Chain A
Amino acid sequence: MKPRSKKPREIIDFIVKLISAVSAFFGIFILILIIYEVAVRGLAAFSFAFFTQLPAPPGMDKGGVANAIVGTFIITLMAAGMGVPIGLMVGIYLVEFARDTKIGELIKFLTNVMIGIPSIIVGLFVYTIMVKPFGQFSGYAGAVALAIIMLPVVARTTQDILMLVPNSLRESAFALGTSQWRVILNIIFRAAKSGLITGVLLAIARVSGETAPLLFTALNSPYWIQTLARPTANLTVLIYNYAVSPFADWQQTAWGASLLIMIAVLFVNILARVILKQKS
């Protein structure tokens, strides 16, 4: 057999490598450009008042987004309070109780499908069950919407992590006569602790930047939060409302709020990675 000549193949190889390297740098360049732009424009909006004051009408100085920061914090925390325990239980059920059963497979499948359902649909759903019947947009509805988005994410990561816990650990605990719920909560959860914390943190980071579901549920408000039964201020809807407004100072505030959200999300993500790395 005549060996094929090496030259054209090497040239093609070189061209492909070049294209792929250039595209990689182009893609990363654009993404870094976005972060840079948000950082520069956002930093210009930061001031003491930005973190401590209520939003000001356009044209007035010294406005802030303090109420929205508090609102996002409370809504996200409430969502985590509902979504995390339920998500953990779903994960436990799938791995510990229903492994290889038909219903377990079905729920596993639906959890994955649910992760991919657009968040705006969840917002619509919560609107029809919590906002329309009461005739009132509310922070509670916002928290429920975010909890529904979190639930499958937490369930999926819990399931992945519990699968990694070796069976010998379960068996030795059972052999000592420990009841199953104690084995799960005291032994398996302890073994999987860092993984579970990482999963929960990533889920929280994910919902804290959500806008679309809050648009139909928590809405927004220019006031301090008195009760969650009324429209509740939050950063993401504030960004949306202010960015599309015609006022330059409101747009600047929107950049500031964007930077704040971006820093928070990146911080939690990096924290989650560090926790996971320390363990392994």
Chain B
Amino acid sequence: MKLWNSRSSLNGSDFVFRLLSAVCALLVIALIVAVFLQLAESSMLAFRQFGFSFLLSQKWNPVTGNFGAASSIYGTLITTLIAMLIAVPLSLVIALFLAELTHPVVSKVVGTCIELLAAIPSIIYGMWGLFVFAPFMSVYIQPWLQAAFPYLPIFKGPKMGIGVLSAGIILAIMILPFITCVIRDVFKMVPAVVKESGYGMGSTTWEVTHKITVRYGLTSIVGACFLGLGRALGETMAVTFVIGNSHRITPSLFNAGSSIASTLANEFAEAADPLHLSSLIALGFVLFIVTFVVQVAARLWLRQMQKSFGGGL
């Protein structure tokens, strides 16, 4: 493979500059490979000790030296699922509001606000979740849910405020601005002519939206959701504060749980035993593989879309 496009004359300083930039660019590949190798190597101890059952075992006990990733993986998946279930529909309607329904000036101001909110560090959301949202959850939302659905096992258990459900909701609030911004941009990319021809036929705003705009941008919207998914999977601080950190898989969403990232954040500093440390890094390795696959899938999907529609994100 050639490192660069050829150009007939190339003097010394130009060559050095090119080489320097190529080295920097190759560093990107090197970094990704290095992350993979380093994490794989450091988690070897745990994988050798527990084998494949590391991924399936629910036990996580630093005292007896028994480690299994199942509870953390479950927590990561369930919080991400809750977050996506809340954030995706809400982002869609907010993006719809911004792109189609409201006055352009309002759209611009509110849109900028949402972009700024996407920039707020996740630890702020975590703080808010722990001190403001969790008490609110335990006093208002959890009793109401239990009263409204008395037979559902997912709403049983202590009304502590912290737990898997709260973590999922905080995660949803955190990824909401991000997904909204991307979907709004997708909506705005749909050519005005296409929408206008819909209106010209006498369609209402809703009809144009769900039959033309959403269908036109569907692939990009799915791509945007995948990017949000990648963020939610690896999010650490917003989850760690409110998930409660317990290594048990229970049917109730009110109980405390743990995600891969929250386990890492919580236990890493205290992990003195090499096996404990290696198990934690193995958790990180699993998370890396999962997010890497999600990112690659999302990017390939978006690139396909780019080729067929000629627009990009």
Contact = CB atoms under 8 A, between A and B. Distances in A.
Interface of A: 9-10, 12-13, 16-17, 19-21, 23-24, 27-28, 30-32, 34-35, 37-38, 41, 86, 89-90, 92-94, 96-104, 106-107, 109-114, 116-122, 124-125, 128-129, 132, 148, 151-152, 155, 179-181, 184, 202, 205-206, 208-212, 215-216, 219, 236, 239-240, 243-244, 251, 254-255, 258, 261-262, 265-266, 269-270, 273
A20 B96 contact: yes
B127 A255 contact: yes
Given A20-B96, A98-B25, A124 B284 contact: yes
B236 interface: yes
Interface of B: 1-5, 7, 11, 13-14, 17-18, 20-22, 24-29, 31-32, 34-35, 38-39, 41-42, 90, 93-94, 96-98, 101-102, 110, 112-114, 116-117, 119-128, 130-132, 173, 176-177, 180, 204-207, 209, 227, 230-231, 233-237, 240-241, 261, 264-265, 268-269, 281, 284, 287-288, 291-292, 294-296, 298-299, 303
A101 B295 contact: no
B29 A110 contact: yes
Closest 5 CB pairs of A and B: A118-B234, A209-B121, A13-B204, A89-B24, A181-B17
A160 to B, nearest CB: 10
Given A110-B32, A118-B287, A240 B123 contact: yes
Contacts of A114: 28, 31-32
Given A128-B42, A261-B124, A116 B97 contact: no
Contacts of B281: 124, 128
A59 to B, nearest CB: 20
B284 to A, nearest CB: 4
A93 B32 contact: no
A141 B114 CA distance: 33
Contacts of A27: 90, 94, 176, 180
A-side interface mostly = helix
Nearest to A99: B5
B43 to A, nearest CB: 10
A211 B123 contact: yes
B113 A20 contact: no
B98 A24 contact: yes
A269 B7 CA distance: 39
A28 B233 CA distance: 24
Contacts of B130: 243-244
B128 A16 contact: no
A37 B241 contact: no
A138 B89 CA distance: 43
Given A17-B101, A89-B25, A211 B117 contact: no
A103 B1 contact: yes
Contacts of A100: 5
A215 B88 CA distance: 30
A114 B121 CA distance: 19
21 contacts: A28-B94, A28-B114, A35-B117, A93-B24, A94-B25, A101-B2, A104-B25, A118-B288, A120-B264, A121-B39, A128-B281, A151-B28, A151-B31, A184-B17, A212-B261, A215-B268, A219-B269, A243-B130, A243-B131, A244-B241, A262-B121
Nearest to B229: A116
A93 B17 CA distance: 10
Q: Which of A107, A124, A205 counts the most chain B CB atoms within 10 A?
A: A124
A181 B13 contact: yes
Contact of B236 (A21, A34, A211, A243): A211
A9 B20 contact: no
Nearest to A216: B268
A212 B38 CA distance: 18
B127 A243 contact: yes
A236 B121 contact: yes
Q: Name which of B113, B132, B206, B230 has the most chain A CB atoms within 10 A of its CB.
A: B206
A172 B77 CA distance: 55
Contacts of A128: 38-39, 41-42, 281
B97 A266 contact: no
Contacts of A101: 1-5
A240 B238 CA distance: 11
B5 A28 contact: no
A133 B32 CA distance: 20
Given A27-B94, A31-B177, A97-B4, 20 more contacts: A23-B90, A27-B90, A35-B117, A37-B128, A38-B124, A38-B128, A86-B27, A90-B21, A90-B24, A98-B22, A103-B1, A103-B3, A104-B25, A117-B292, A118-B234, A129-B34, A132-B42, A209-B120, A211-B236, A265-B119
